[in-house]
Amino acid sequence: MSQKTKVTMRHIAARSGVSQSTVSLILNGSQSVKLSEATREKVSRIAREMGYVHKALARVSAIDKIAFIFNGLINSEPFSEAIYSAQQAAWQHNKLLAIFDMKNEPAHCAALEEEIRRGGYQGLIFASCFTALLPPLFANLSIPVVLLNGYCPERPDLPCILPADKIGAYKATRHLLQQGYQRIAILTGEDQTANDRIYGYRQALINHDIFPDDRYIQATGPSPKSAYQKTLDLLAFSPPPEAIFCSSDYIALGCYQAILSKGLRIPHDIAVIGYNNQSLSPELIPELSTVDLSYREMGKMALTTLLTLTRRQPLLDKIMKVEGELIVRQSSLRPRRPAL
CATH code of the domain containing 17: 1.10.260.40
How does pLDDT run along the chain (340 residues), one tens digit per residue? Answer: 544 567 888 899 899 988 887 887 777 665 555 678 788 888 888 987 887 766 554 544 446 888 988 876 555 566 777 888 888 888 888 888 888 887 667 777 788 888 888 878 889 999 887 777 787 778 888 899 999 988 888 888 999 999 999 999 999 999 999 999 999 999 998 777 789 999 999 999 999 999 999 999 999 988 899 999 999 999 999 999 999 999 999 999 999 999 999 999 999 999 999 999 988 999 999 999 999 988 889 999 999 999 999 989 999 899 999 999 999 999 999 987 655 5
- Decide if 4 is inside a domain: no
The length of the chain is 340
Same domain, 205 and 261: yes
184 forms beta bridges with 243
Q: What is the CATH number for 103?
A: 3.40.50.2300
Same domain, 73 and 176: no
Structural domain of 38:
9-59
Same domain, 95 and 150: yes
Same domain, 29 and 71: no
Picking from 189, 148, 82, the residue whose alpha carbon sits closest to that of residue 320 is: 148
- Decide if 337 is inside a domain: no
> Under 8 Å CB-to-CB from 159, ≥6 apart: which residues?
146, 147, 305, 309, 315, 318, 319, 320
- Decide if 115 is inside a domain: yes
Same domain, 121 and 148: yes
pTM tops 0.85, yes or no: no
Same domain, 159 and 169: no
Same domain, 17 and 100: no
- Decide if 153 is inside a domain: yes
Same domain, 47 and 196: no
Same domain, 256 and 319: no
- Decide if 193 is inside a domain: yes
**What is the rounded CA–CA span in Å between residue 208 and residue 326?**
19
**What is the rounded CA–CA span in Å between residue 64 and residue 97?**
9
- Decide if 1 is inside a domain: no
Same domain, 150 and 34: no
Asked if 251 and 219 count as a contact pair (C-beta separation under 8 A), the reply is: no
Same domain, 241 and 318: no
Same domain, 174 and 267: yes
What is the number of domains present in the chain? 3
- Decide if 23 is inside a domain: yes
Last residue of a domain, one of 59, 75, 94: 59
